[in-house]
Structure 1
């Protein structure tokens, strides 16, 4: 009888030892911050972004001329923009030769490229004798002269590369014909675009300047059609 009890006690001891070893080999949760332990047990987040969360590509906004106030201020002689003292157009003695009664030119509104058909002037701007050219001075004075006529600046930069590529042939033709405005019609270039809205027409003005010379274009044409809503 005593041998039987001894055998049963030894068997129970062996089973208890095996159970403890199995528990010791299980993975214990990380100690410390409970949040870290929870993260360790959580599945890794998915790397694919749901389609609904993907940002939509920007869409070019249509230009609405009705957002520009009508100006009835008296206009100076063509080409309307007076240059500051000490500066002059290259063809100051023959401005008529820098004008075309009918031409087709692009203007960038900041969200849309419009092609204007009408009377167009373009010429370079230089400093007079004894005057040092200042890009800041010319730009500031041109802005003040245009705003005094009721003009509104639409943008200070040219169009993006996608817009250029979509109009590359027409843009190249324009730059060849109006070579003095070439620098204003590369994509992502410094160029100010203004519009003066009159009751019966729109006057578009594009100004561009380097450090020692500038250029100006004035295009006068029909009011653009308002976008359809």
Structure 2
């Protein structure tokens, strides 16, 4: 063997060993990538689930709000329960916010006097209880700036009992799909001192305000000097809905049957929006009533208009039912 061969052999062997080492390293990296990819896919089975792919739960959940308290945890004060409310929930892994309407439950929670608060214990308790009855996690994370701004501008009565701290805390959101479509949405958060939970069982809003007929309007005017009507307008507009026009037809009947009757038409709103905006809107809606009566042949000289905005509420503005009652038109006999 010549000297050239003596030097080439180690180099060849070294190159072979190096190539083999590189291949082994690449295989290990690929295995790691596959494992990591599988972990992501497994996680996304939870976070990427859509309404159509989430399995329906037929578990017997008992009575609303369905979930009791974990051991050594109590309500900080009396929970808020409403027959109908609208609350925003993050409904996918990106935190897309959706307004869910239905029966609601909200409460803050703290530890009992003989125990220390544990954030992991609180979260794990509800996570396992929800999943045990077929619930699926929709979102877990902190809200981004855009989400926080959206909530500040659109969410109702932030800061009351059971409000989540979406400024600072991680939000956990779940859904339990039900056979009849009355799906249950749950979201909660916690810090080092306590937690909060919100539950909504989805349900369509049921209108409980019926159209007052002409004979009742006339009776109220004669006995009370005024009548209160709930005339339907488009949201934040003075354009009448079909059912709103039906109410005005009843007013026209009264005016036609009583040729000397003159009415002051007073518009009112709920407290959503600014005072200035509400004042303008209430006056525009009262004027829309006059314009509609005019198309029915009523002389506008018999009618006067005034807007009061959100003044003189007749119901609680913190509930959807109350706000619906405050959005009204009052006819005052002149």
Specify if TM > 0.5.
Answer: yes
> Given the superposition, is the C-alpha separation of residues 164 and 74 from structure 1 closer, same or farther in structure 2, using an over 3 Å criterion?
same
Asked if structure 2 preserves the Cα contact closer than 8 Å seen for 1:175 and 1:181, the reply is yes
Larger radius of gyration: 1
Cα deviation, residue 135, structure 1: 0.7
Q: Does the alignment pair 1:192 with 2:172?
A: yes
Q: Does the alignment pair 1:181 with 2:167?
A: no
Map of 1:205 onto structure 2: 186
Deviations 1:41-84 (CA, angstroms, capped at 9, x unpaired) = xxxxxxxxxxxxxxxxxxxx998311210000010332112222
Asked if structure 2 preserves the Cα contact closer than 8 Å seen for 1:86 and 1:128, the reply is yes
Helix, strand or coil: the match of 2:83? strand
Q: Does the alignment pair 1:145 with 2:160?
A: no
The alignment yields a C-alpha RMSD, in angstroms, of: 2.4
Cα deviation, residue 145, structure 1: 1.0
> Given the superposition, is the C-alpha separation of residues 198 and 90 from structure 1 closer, same or farther in structure 2, using an over 3 Å criterion?
same
User: Matched residue pairs, number?
Assistant: 155
Asked if structure 1 preserves the Cα contact closer than 8 Å seen for 2:164 and 2:189, the reply is no
Q: Which has the higher contact order (CA 8 A, sep 6+)?
A: 1
Map of 1:100 onto structure 2: 82
Map of 2:115 onto structure 1: 131
- Tell me how far apart the structure 2 counterparts of residues 220 and 80 of structure 1 sit (CA, whole Å): 10
Unaligned runs of 5+ in 1: 1-60, 224-229
Asked if structure 2 preserves the Cα contact closer than 8 Å seen for 1:104 and 1:115, the reply is yes
Asked if structure 2 preserves the Cα contact closer than 8 Å seen for 1:99 and 1:121, the reply is yes
Deviations 1:16-39 (CA, angstroms, capped at 9, x unpaired) = xxxxxxxxxxxxxxxxxxxxxxxx
Map of 1:16 onto structure 2: none
Map of 2:53 onto structure 1: 67
Cα deviation, residue 222, structure 1: 4.2
- Which of 126, 129, 144 lines up with 1:160 in the alignment? 144
Map of 2:259 onto structure 1: none
Asked if structure 2 preserves the Cα contact closer than 8 Å seen for 1:157 and 1:191, the reply is yes
Deviations 1:141-165 (CA, angstroms, capped at 9, x unpaired) = 1111111121111111143222333
Map of 2:75 onto structure 1: 89
Unaligned runs of 5+ in 2: 1-46, 205-334
TM-score (norm 2): 0.43
Q: Does the alignment pair 1:218 with 2:218?
A: no
Asked if structure 1 preserves the Cα contact closer than 8 Å seen for 2:56 and 2:177, the reply is yes
> Given the superposition, is the C-alpha separation of residues 167 and 124 from structure 1 closer, same or farther in structure 2, using an over 3 Å criterion?
closer
Deviations 1:71-109 (CA, angstroms, capped at 9, x unpaired) = 000103321122221112234xx55xx201111110012
- Tell me how far apart the structure 2 counterparts of residues 104 and 63 of structure 1 sit (CA, whole Å): 23
